[in-house]
Amino acid sequence: MSVGLDDIKAAAARIEGRVRRTPLLPAAPVHTPIVSDASLDLKLENLQVTGSFKARGAMSKLTSLSPDELRRGLITASGGNHGLGVAYAGWAAQAPATIYLPHSTPPAKADKLRAWGARVEVHGEVWDDANAEALRQAQAAGLTYVHPFADPVIIAGQGTMALEILADAPETDVLLVAIGGGGLIAGVATAAKALKPGITVIGIEPHGAPTHYESRKAGRLVELAAIQTEAGTLAPRRSEEINLELITRHVDDIVLVSDDDMRAAARWLWFELGIGAEMSGAAAIAALQAGAYRPPPGARVCAIVCGAGTDGLSPG
């Protein structure tokens, strides 16, 4: 299994009109800039339907399913955002959707899932636990399982974001992308490198969930012994081979940020620009603000604000 530019363009055609074409916003002018010798754009996926980029992948998957697969109903596991994407897709197709969440998921996300008509089940402490149960239930009940990050059709859907970024700002030199399971960065990096081979793609993970950072260092998939971050949407213990392969091929580097870094970045986004981003949504800004990544002088940088929320505004 793999994903190429043609797959991403096909996904873009299928989901057109079903998701939002989100704005690309210049960060300047601001009172407290976080890059002094580069320009910064923000891709505002926090304004995507359901509040995150996950609607892209979910709609890409939905439009690839047969009527029988839809009738059987959708099931997945999520830290919240992918579940919302699947719930939205189910609502749009009038297909039942069941979402398994770990106990670490904020209650507000469970409430939003129910508002989209999904059935919500809570199981385990982290996403991996919830996913194992979702897979068992999918097999037992004959439901259509929708993987949050290791499905090529999902990855292609997430990659449509890069088509928009480079159409709006073809001079972009650097993309900063948060990493959870790796579906977003796998799709975005694949599309971006195909369209502009010289572009730099930097991934960002929490210090407390360095899944791809450790896998990259080891040269193989690594399963973390524990998760120690409050950014639940960036916190699987293990990714999958398709994500590792695409990230290894197309992503230039992965850097780590702390939960406090992400909270500080979320506060910057809110107070400077009025953008409500969850901790994971602020991870790309955190990499700049904390100095985990320093862009070359004169570079045009695009940070993906991948999810809406208010957890980053809490004191922690």
How much is the pLDDT for 109? 87
Q: Tell me the residue ranges of DSSP E strands in the chain.
A: 24-26, 39-44, 74-77, 97-101, 119-122, 144-145, 174-178, 200-206, 253-257, 300-305
How much is the pLDDT for 314? 72
Sheet holding 39-44, edge to edge: 24-26, 39-44, 300-305, 174-178, 200-206, 253-257
Bridge partners, residue 303, by sequence: 42, 176
Q: CB atoms < 10 A from the CB of 120, how many?
A: 19
Tens of pLDDT, residues 137-153: 999 999 999 999 999 99
Helices 241-250 & 152-168, crossing angle to 10 degrees? 30
pLDDT band for 316, please (50, 70, 90 cuts): low
Tens of pLDDT, residues 248-282: 999 999 999 999 999 999 999 999 999 999 999 99
Burial (CB count within 10 angstroms: exposed 0-12, middle 13-18, buried 19+), residue 20: middle
Going by the DSSP 8-state scheme, the letter that residue 50 receives in this structure is G
pTM of the model: 0.95
Query: What are the structural domains, with CATH classification, of the chain?
Result: 5-53+151-313 (3.40.50.1100), 55-145 (3.40.50.1100)
Tens of pLDDT, residues 157-178: 999 999 999 999 999 999 999 9
Q: Indicate whether 315 pLDDT > 80.
A: no
